[in-house]
Structures are given as structure tokens and as C-alpha cells.
Amino acid sequence: MAGNAVEYIYTDSRHSNPLCRVTPSEFMEAEDFDYDKEKYREMLFEATETVLGSFGFDRSVYGNAKKKIRKWWHELSEERIRDRETERV
């Protein structure tokens, strides 16, 4: 129906076919429930960095060794920290 939200679950976020990366949640069977744990872990770290990044949150402390894409606000935050350190000297 038009205007209804479709809930989906990432099942294989690295699949070569974008249509096979997610499955509508209504099609997931309780006993066959398999989701992409790494995708949800990455999404959780991304959200946490967005909220807590200005307080110094670093995902590498939690074992995430993947190279992350630097966002513009991370660069700005680091530049501000360097400026403050320069002013103290």
C-alpha cells in the first residue's frame, strides 16, 4: 500500500546484487533468522561515533580494525583540537 514503511533486515550487505542484500522483515522465519551481524555492528559504531565522537570515542578501542571513512566533522574536530594545543604553547 502506498505510504507504508517497509521494514527490512540486512542479510548479506556484501552481496554483489544490491537486491539480495536485504530481506523484508515479514519474510524472515523465526527458525531461519539469519542477519548480517557485521553490518549492524558497523552501523552501531557509526552512530556511536556520530554522537560521542566529540568526546573522543574511538571505535578502534573496541577491536574494529577496519579503515573507516573520515567524515568532514571528524576532520573539523581534529583541527580544533590541534588549534587549542597550539594556543596553549
In a domain, 1, yes or no: no
Range of the domain at 56: 8-88
In a domain, 81, yes or no: yes
Task: Report the pLDDT value the prediction gives residue 57, as an integer from 0 to 100.
Answer: 80
- In this prediction the pTM is 0.59
In a domain, 46, yes or no: yes
Mean pLDDT over 66-73 rounds to 62
Pick the residue with more confidence: 29 or 18? Answer: 18
In a domain, 72, yes or no: yes
Task: Report the pLDDT value the prediction gives residue 66, as an integer from 0 to 100.
Answer: 58
The three-state DSSP-derived secondary structure of the chain is CCCCCCCEEECCCCCCCHHHCEEEHHHCCCCCCCCCHHHHHHHHHHHHHHHHHHHCCCHHHHCCCCCCCCCHHHHHHHHHHHHHHHHHC
How far is the C-alpha of 76 from the C-alpha of 13, rounded, in Å? 30
In a domain, 59, yes or no: yes
Task: Report the pLDDT value the prediction gives residue 67, as an integer from 0 to 100.
Answer: 53
In a domain, 2, yes or no: no
Tens of pLDDT, residue by residue over 30-67, are 656 788 998 998 888 888 888 888 888 877 777 665 55
Domains: count for the chain: 1
